[in-house]
Amino acid sequence: MKRILILSLMLVLVFSFVVTAQAQVNVTYWTAPNPPQEVFWRNLAEKFNASQNKINVYVTAMVETPSSESTITNAVAGGKAPAASGNIFPGFGATLANSEAVVALDTLPGFDEIIEKRAMKEVIEGWKFADGHVYILPVYANAMLFGWRIDTLKELGFKEAPTTYSGIMDVGKALKAKYPDRFLIARKALIEPTWWQRWFDFFMLYNAASDGRPFVTGNEVTADDEAVIKVFKFYGDLKANNYLLTMPATDPFETEVSIWRSLGPWSFPGWKERFPELVINKTFVAAPPPLPDDVKLPYAKTFADAKGLVIYAQRSPEEQAAIWEFIKWVFTDPINDLAWIDATGMLPMRGDLVTNSTFDRVFKEHPELIPYADEMAYAVPAIANEKFSDIQTILSDKGLVPVVLGKVTPQQGWADAKAAIEALLK
């Protein structure tokens, strides 16, 4: 903590020097290996560089072979990290923070202004690490929702998407009575141990059932035990009642083999080309995760498929201050977030997307994005622990998968998984 406070004071002093000194400070920003994002950042860097003569920001895409995380790790180890980079999700961010490779952004001057102008006071709480600091500035988030075939629901006699586990079971019963060969959900991943798939099934429901309680805090399992067991049981019940298809299927939701699925906004551009009949509020709706029947909350939280940027501690204080000035310039003007949406099709991490008139055009042209903007404030990022993949692999192997397959009870599945995760974190 003392080290962080000292560095913060140094940056404040250095920042004053940077903005008054005559010598230009050159800094590099690594963007995600994604052409639209690269274009976005280069355009802004050019505008920023032209707006003043003290700082020059150079933007380049990071190498993604074998992975962007490996590229960053190797750069840090070799003393060649950029001043800052994007494409950081909380799990990898924890690795960088634990090795003191990145700066605590909440200690820098102007951090609170960014949070205020982006209406992120509540959102940023989910990005704090175990030591209470924020090392990643969230840039964008896909607040994961569930898609429902509202046309089929209405045909079955349901006016809206179910909001509870029992409500979903009622839909499953009605669906099977009318269409025996169709399913509520088609998801082969629910019987596979692929760690990242848990983001799009388990953690969506867990975050809702637990009201966003952290699954892991530091090196301790802090999960809501009852919430985990309820989620396990729910998925197990879907399989036991034949409402869940775990065989391979191509576009099952789109072709009405199933009527319910986890749904990210990246699906929509492809649908417009291949499935033009899928129209928001006409043939499908996007809804928050359902809640257990005995959990009463005003709004269900979900998983945030989200990434942000970091500043690297190995760069000089002058470089850190310079890149921070650029970052503040970008993220305190909503026009830049509008440009982000236009360039990438993804929503920026803001808490005022549906109330800020800057974005009216976006939602008029793309009404399917409105539910995702509404959910933004309730989206919980991934586990902020460097052993994220091992934790979620154990969660799959010891817990969710055997429960779905009917090999163990939900209680035993969680007991086995929790014990193994605790052993991993020791």
Is 340 within the bounds of a domain? yes
Q: Are residues 254 and 394 in the same domain?
A: yes
- Expressed as residue numbers, the domain containing 392 is 145-263+387-425
* Residue-level pLDDT at 17: 47
Whether residue 293 lies inside any domain: the answer is no
Q: Are residues 94 and 173 in the same domain?
A: no
Same domain? For 229 and 249 the reply is yes
Q: Can you give the pLDDT at residue 97? A: 95
Give 280-304 pLDDT, tens digit per residue.
999 999 999 999 999 999 999 999 9
**256: in domain:** yes
- Strand residues in 218-364 grouped as ranges (E): 220-221, 244-245, 258-263, 285-287, 302-311
Q: Are residues 138 and 8 in the same domain?
A: yes
Quick one: pLDDT at residue 218?
Answer: 87
Q: Is residue 278 part of a domain?
A: no
Rounded average pLDDT over 364-370: 94
249 vs 277: CA distance, rounded Å = 20
- Do residues 64 and 122 both lie within one domain? yes
CATH of the domain at 84: 3.40.190.10
Instruction: Read off the pLDDT band of 201 (50, 70, 90).
Output: very high
3-state secondary structure of 138: strand
State the CB neighbour count (10 A cutoff) for residue 377. 19
Same domain membership, residue 354 and residue 214: no
Q: Domain check: are 28 and 157 in the same one? A: no
Q: Say what the pTM is.
A: 0.86
Phi, psi of 213, rounded to the nearest 5 degrees? -65, 130
Say how many domains are in the chain.
Answer: 2
Distance separating alpha carbons of residues 289 and 185, to the nearest angstrom: 14
For residue 219, give the 3-state DSSP assignment. Answer: coil
131 beta partners = none
Q: Would residue 275 count as lying in a domain?
A: no
Per the domain annotation, does 272 fall within a domain?
Answer: no
Q: Specify whether 345 is located in the same domain as 245.
A: no
The per-residue pLDDT for range 5-61, each reduced to its tens digit, is 555 555 555 554 444 445 899 999 999 998 999 999 999 999 999 999 999 999 999
Mean pLDDT of 91-114: 96
pLDDT digits (tens, 9 = 90+) for 325-361: 999 999 999 999 999 999 888 899 998 998 999 999 9
Q: Are residues 26 and 114 in the same domain?
A: yes
Q: How does residue 77 score in pLDDT terms, banded at 50, 70 and 90?
A: very high
Q: Which amino acid is at 385?
A: N
In a domain, 279, yes or no: no
183 with 234, same domain: the answer is: yes
Q: Examine residue 15 and state whether it is found in any structural domain, yes or no.
A: yes
State whether 216 and 73 are in the same domain. Answer: no
